[in-house]
């Protein structure tokens, strides 16, 4: 019986010892992790890349009104087809002509004392078009109205594959942040360890150039499309790199 109690006490002692070791290890690890996360320093960097736009994006609509929904849709369809046929003749590829939306809206009369009455229907088919030959942009804008587009929403000159410019700007931003880290490391007399965090923000894309159908000549009479300078687009990437201080 005495041996039984001795063995039991020995076993309990071993369990307590193991639990104490685990607690000490966890406490030490927590202190180390806390040191890693608190003893840090961050550096920001910026990278810029400028490039001429290689495409123009146009948004426009064909709007038709009629007394009934069917009449409005039947009248809108040939107008939309004429616009698409015109774009194809200008060399715009099928993949670059996209319908953004197609909506049919009732139009109401609002008598003074009576309930609203439907007076007709309006069909709006919105398109987005990419023009890859920028030299044709002004001509296409001018002749779109003649072809049947009666609402030009906006025009934007942009880059078809912005990811390449973003990658180039990111490389410059990271190099800028690392240079600041090396300079400050010498000035402060600290030793930087591994990178423990990284964040990125991308911007600098161009905004749209807003236009209306009334700005364009009707059938080439009374003036044409305005000259729209293409200029350059600037892609900007800002990064923040956080280092552990040894």
- For the chain, what are the domain ranges? 41-50+163-204+239-245, 53-160+206-232
Does pLDDT of 20 surpass 50?
no
pTM over 0.85: no
Token pair belonging to 15: 């369990």
Considering only CA atoms, give the Rg of the chain: 33
58, β-bridge pairs: 129, 155
In the CATH scheme, what is the homologous superfamily, with its name and number, of domain 53-160+206-232?
Protein of unknown function (DUF541), domain 2 (3.30.70.2970)
* Structure-model confidence comparison of residues 224 and 43, the more confident one: 43
Domain at 41-50+163-204+239-245: CATH code: 3.30.110.170
pLDDT tens per residue, range 59-94: 999 999 999 999 999 999 999 999 999 999 999 999
Cα distances (angstroms) measured from residue 105 to each of 183, 223, 227 = 63, 33, 34
Contacts of 159 (CB under 8 A, 6+ apart): 51, 53, 54, 55, 165, 233, 235
Distance in Å from the first CA to the final CA of the chain: 57
Contacts of 238 (CB under 8 A, 6+ apart): 44, 45, 46, 47, 173, 200, 201, 202, 203
* Structure-model confidence comparison of residues 138 and 34, the more confident one: 138
pLDDT tens per residue, range 127-148: 999 999 998 988 898 899 889 9
């Amino acid at each position: 019986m005495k041996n039984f109690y001795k063995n039991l006490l020995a076993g309990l002692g071993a369990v307590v010892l193991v639990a104490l070791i685990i607690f000490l290890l966890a406490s030490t690890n927590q202190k180390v992790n806390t040191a890693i996360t608190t003893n840090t320093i961050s550096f920001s960097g910026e990278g810029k890349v400028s490039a001429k736009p290689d495409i123009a994006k146009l948004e426009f609509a064909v709007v038709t009104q009629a007394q009934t929904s069917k009449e409005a849709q039947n009248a809108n369809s040939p107008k939309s087809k004429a616009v698409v046929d015109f774009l194809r003749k200008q060399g715009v590829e099928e993949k670059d002509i996209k319908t953004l939306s197609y909506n049919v809206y009732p139009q109401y009369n609002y008598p003074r004392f009576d309930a609203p009455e439907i007076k007709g229907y309006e069909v709006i088919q919105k398109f987005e078009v990419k023009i890859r030959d920028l030299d044709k942009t002004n001509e296409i804008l001018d002749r779109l109205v003649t072809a049947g587009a009666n609402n030009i929403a906006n025009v934007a000159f942009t880059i078809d594959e912005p990811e390449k410019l973003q990658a180039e700007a990111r490389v410059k931003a990271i190099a800028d942040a690392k240079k600041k880290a090396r300079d400050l490391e010498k000035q402060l007399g600290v030793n930087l360890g591994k990178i423990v965090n990284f964040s990125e923000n991308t911007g600098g894309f161009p905004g749209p150039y807003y236009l209306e159908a009334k700005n364009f000549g009707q059938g080439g009479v009374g003036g044409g499309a305005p000259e729209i300078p293409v200029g350059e687009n600037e892609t900007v990437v800002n990064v923040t790199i956080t280092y552990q201080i040894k």
